[in-house]
Structure 1
Amino acid sequence: MCQRKLGLDMMNSVSTQDRSFDNGGLGNIRSWMQRNVDDRKLAGCSMLMAHKSDEVFFHAAGQRSREKALPYTRDTATRIYSMTKPITSAALMMLVERGLVHLEAPVSRFIPAFETMQALIPGAEHIDQTEPAPSPTLHQLMTHTSGLSYPFNPGILARAMDAQDLIFGPRQGRLADMVDQVAKLPLAFQPGSRWEYSVATDVLGRVVEIISGKPLDVFFSDAIFEPLGMTETSFSVPMQARDRFASLYTPLAGDAMALNEAKTGGESLRLVDEAETSPFLKTEMHSGGGGLISTIDDYMNFTEMLRQGGTFNAQRLLSTRIVDFMMQNHLPGDIASMGPQSFAEQPMEGMGFGLGGAIVLDPARVGTPGSVGDFSWGGMASTFFWVDREKDLSVVFFTQLSPSSSYPLRAEMKALVHGAMVG
């Protein structure tokens, strides 16, 4: 098993052997990936692993387009959806580190539409059964305790959002306009009282724009993508990557995002967004909650920046103390203890939430092998990453299957990776 350094010299092979991984165990990962393709659960997929900044594993299987029989390759461009959230969270923390904002500031300080808020009363049955509520803080937005929701969640607010199509899709206009529409609806609960996965990170993206004075795509490019060498990460598929962009599939018979009305049966890999006609080829919306396209090497650069405490290839984006702060649990307990009534990209038992990602508090309660403190998040198209700072490990998994709740891929891959570790 040869290694190579990630980053500027990533194309140079290194002849050393990493004795922390068993070749047989890594072979099990390859077999698992191919089995998911052979069983028609995934059209294609790729996984990249780094240990102590050395690449120790890469494998790709299947196709990025079944219709055109195009292989899923290392440079395949994919929709990362909610794996955009950690990037937006890092962007806001860069502004915090510069002293331009603090996390307890109410969002209304930057977006006046959130000035006079209402929240649904406990037990509400209609959208107009509300009571006054404070404007959520930036910290509550970052931790999904703000009272906002998603259209695909259960509940009254989610149904109202679904009726207005408030999903921050790639062709849904300007970020500022949709954020103002969200602010017109009541909150699902009083800020800070519960946890609910939401469009809060999209709102934070708008806050980043206002504080920085730059459109979100420009701030991302200047402050994050350029320093990290993420040349193929963007809200629209980069021109040079259009012939490598993957199609999106679903095992559902209906809308791949309509989790409240998920309909199973029929084709297990139904095409829902063809690469050649995708709205992501040219987007209008800069969704900080789910809008980015990326490649696996690009996203590994961001993941390694987090694992290395804010630095990658001698480029410092965040201080080590700020990254440590982001990777602490910012909830009173685990997510499950905060009465969630929503979809989430991670288990809730034994899992806390930091700033932009989930934190493993107790692997036994999570029910998946891992280390206390693992920081991770995923996307609706079944992409996933995690950082294990205890074991100096970064893992990124890319595929294009929506929704991410279709199969227990993430639990299986964590077990496989830990099964391959011998040191």
Structure 2
Amino acid sequence: MKSLLTLLALLITAASFAQLKEAAPETAGASSERLKRIDQLFKTYIDNKWISGGTAIIVKDGKIIYYKAAGVSSLDTKAPMQKDAIFRIASQTKAVTTVAIMMLYEEGKLLLDDPVEKYIPSFAKPQVLDKFNAADSSYTTVPAKRSVTLRDLLTHSSGVGYAQIGSKEARSIYAKNGIWGGIGVENGMILGEKIKKLGSLPLLHQPGEKWTYGLNTDILGYVVEVVSGQSLDQFFKKQIFEPLGMNDTYFYLPKEKTSRLVKLTAEDENHLVKSVKEEALNLSGPVRVNYPAEPGTYYSGGGGLSSTALDYAIFMQMLVNGGEYNGKRILSPFSIRMMAAKQFDKFTSPDTDMGLGFTVYTDRSVAYSPLSPGSFEWGGMFSSTYWIDPKQKLVAQLFLNQYPNSHSEIHAKFKVLVYQALRE
């Protein structure tokens, strides 16, 4: 038994030092024939004009067993989608910011139960919304019972709401104070200035009282800046992207890579895919659709990154490897175990738990999902999904760039088609 455990440890170590490469699915216990069903899934949704195209990648046992592009990257030019197409990953940025916080935690520079005001003084003595007047966005408040902590932010239990896509109260109060969701904002906005202002605004409920999706991870992004002394852009680049070899992930793309950015699509009144003019996306306020290809200064830790299927697979593989990839250790296995552990007992889903920055699958989840208990995931508002399954040593990603998407069930079908192709 001891020799078997030693062998398994050596195999895991070897996997963490290897770069991702394509391999025959059968070498990782999967079926080439059954993976073709994903091709048909893409074809069905493209032929029906439900989506314009996308990319998908599956990595099992450290081997890329599926990596394809389908459809077009622009409905206007009909340019074929390429595997290295760059997508707006929106809230998939949250996973990267969470990792950055855990890196600083491992360096002894912060604790997860630290109050936010330790790093951002404007969050001291928080107030909670009591009465709200929709006519003029005025409100009254009551004192919060305690400070907001970093753990509250990581679990979306702080009481901070979301600008543009949150409750009517959050949308109104934040807009009146110039707080936006961080995607497609005007050039010249600075993260620290907006987060400091956000700290002076009321919480929607008492910290820890319930789960509310909000600008929590943008706040954490600024905490990274304060603690590290670097912009979030530079911290990501120097501490995560460059060590891992993620060469196509940015807040704002270099000019030589802008041609690879997928054009955003939307839907017409019949829920069929259509082109989006660069100024046409409106989320309770204008959003510059082409923001990744333009100059920018706002580094949204909650939604600002763009990336490729391969780059994000590398990031996920680091997590499934226990924090290491290509010989570079980003986190310890113990921190990743914390990230995938239940952190909040008032999460709104009855079958999944809220970890640190991720939704975590449980023993209850197996009744409706093929993902193994302990798998963790999030997604992006432009119709993208990913997950990490440590038990199966599997990561997968489906990128579309469409908002809204009435046919988002394609993501659930993609999950089914990944697991039905596994033999063991």
TM over 0.5: yes
Q: Distance in 1 between matches of 2:80 and 2:419?
A: 28
Gaps of 5+ in 1: 254-263, 337-347
Give the equivalent residue in structure 2 for 1:171. 185
Q: How does 1:94-109 map to 2 (within 5 A)?
A: 94-109=103-118
Q: Distance in 2 between matches of 1:135 and 1:317?
A: 30
SS in 1 for 2:59: strand
Relative to structure 1, the CA distance from residue 129 to residue 78 in structure 2 (aligned partners, 3 Å threshold; closer, same or farther) is same
Q: Deviations over 1:1-35 (max 9, x none)?
A: xxxx9986546x65683362223321111100121
2:57 corresponds to which letter in structure 1?
A: L
Contact persistence 2:264–2:289 (CA under 8 A): no
Give the equivalent residue in structure 2 for 1:74. 83
Q: Distance in 2 between matches of 1:369 and 1:36?
A: 22
Q: Distance in 2 between matches of 1:422 and 1:33?
A: 23
Q: Deviations over 1:44-67 (max 9, x none)?
A: 111100111011111211011110
The Cα shift of 1:75 comes to 0.6
2:327 corresponds to which letter in structure 1?
A: A
The Cα shift of 1:244 comes to 0.9
Contact persistence 1:235–1:293 (CA under 8 A): yes
Contact persistence 2:17–2:324 (CA under 8 A): no
Give the equivalent residue in structure 1 for 2:248. 232
Give the equivalent residue in structure 1 for 2:149. 137
| Alignment partner of 1:18 is 2:19 | no
Contact persistence 1:249–1:273 (CA under 8 A): no
Gaps of 5+ in 2: 1-14, 280-287
The Cα shift of 1:84 comes to 0.3
Q: Distance in 1 between matches of 2:355 and 2:25?
A: 35
Relative to structure 1, the CA distance from residue 29 to residue 81 in structure 2 (aligned partners, 3 Å threshold; closer, same or farther) is same
Q: Distance in 2 between matches of 1:320 and 1:266?
A: 44
SS in 1 for 2:72: strand
Q: Distance in 1 between matches of 2:240 and 2:66?
A: 25
Q: Distance in 1 between matches of 2:119 and 2:320?
A: 31
Q: Distance in 2 between matches of 1:324 and 1:277?
A: 36
SS in 2 for 1:28: helix
Q: Distance in 2 between matches of 1:402 and 1:169?
A: 13
Q: Distance in 1 between matches of 2:180 and 2:365?
A: 37
Q: Distance in 1 between matches of 2:289 and 2:172?
A: 29
Q: Distance in 1 between matches of 2:367 and 2:202?
A: 32
Relative to structure 1, the CA distance from residue 351 to residue 206 in structure 2 (aligned partners, 3 Å threshold; closer, same or farther) is same
Contact persistence 1:47–1:58 (CA under 8 A): yes
Contact persistence 2:23–2:65 (CA under 8 A): no
Relative to structure 1, the CA distance from residue 131 to residue 212 in structure 2 (aligned partners, 3 Å threshold; closer, same or farther) is same
Relative to structure 1, the CA distance from residue 227 to residue 17 in structure 2 (aligned partners, 3 Å threshold; closer, same or farther) is same
Give the equivalent residue in structure 1 for 2:343. 330
Give the equivalent residue in structure 2 for 1:128. 139
Q: Distance in 2 between matches of 1:405 and 1:203?
A: 30
SS in 2 for 1:17: helix
Give the equivalent residue in structure 1 for 2:61. 52
What is the number of residues matched between the two proteins?
Answer: 393
More displaced stretch, 62-71 vs 366-375: 366-375
Q: Distance in 1 between matches of 2:171 and 2:98?
A: 23
Contact persistence 1:170–1:284 (CA under 8 A): no
2:372 corresponds to which letter in structure 1?
A: S
2:419 corresponds to which letter in structure 1?
A: H
Q: Distance in 2 between matches of 1:101 and 1:329?
A: 21
Q: Distance in 1 between matches of 2:335 and 2:40?
A: 39
Q: Distance in 2 between matches of 1:192 and 1:29?
A: 41
Q: Distance in 1 between matches of 2:168 and 2:184?
A: 25
The Cα shift of 1:306 comes to 0.6
Q: How does 1:192-231 map to 2 (within 5 A)?
A: 192-231=208-247
More displaced stretch, 93-102 vs 357-366: 357-366
Q: Deviations over 1:92-148 (max 9, x none)?
A: 100000100001111111111111211123x86665232101331000001100001
Q: Distance in 2 between matches of 1:234 and 1:32?
A: 29
Contact persistence 1:166–1:182 (CA under 8 A): no
SS in 1 for 2:54: strand
| Alignment partner of 1:33 is 2:48 | no
Q: Distance in 2 between matches of 1:14 and 1:364?
A: 30
Q: Deviations over 1:59-89 (max 9, x none)?
A: 2110111101111111101100000000000
Match of 1:159 among 154, 157, 172: 172
Match of 1:186 among 191, 202, 212: 202
Q: TM-score, normalised to structure 2's length?
A: 0.87
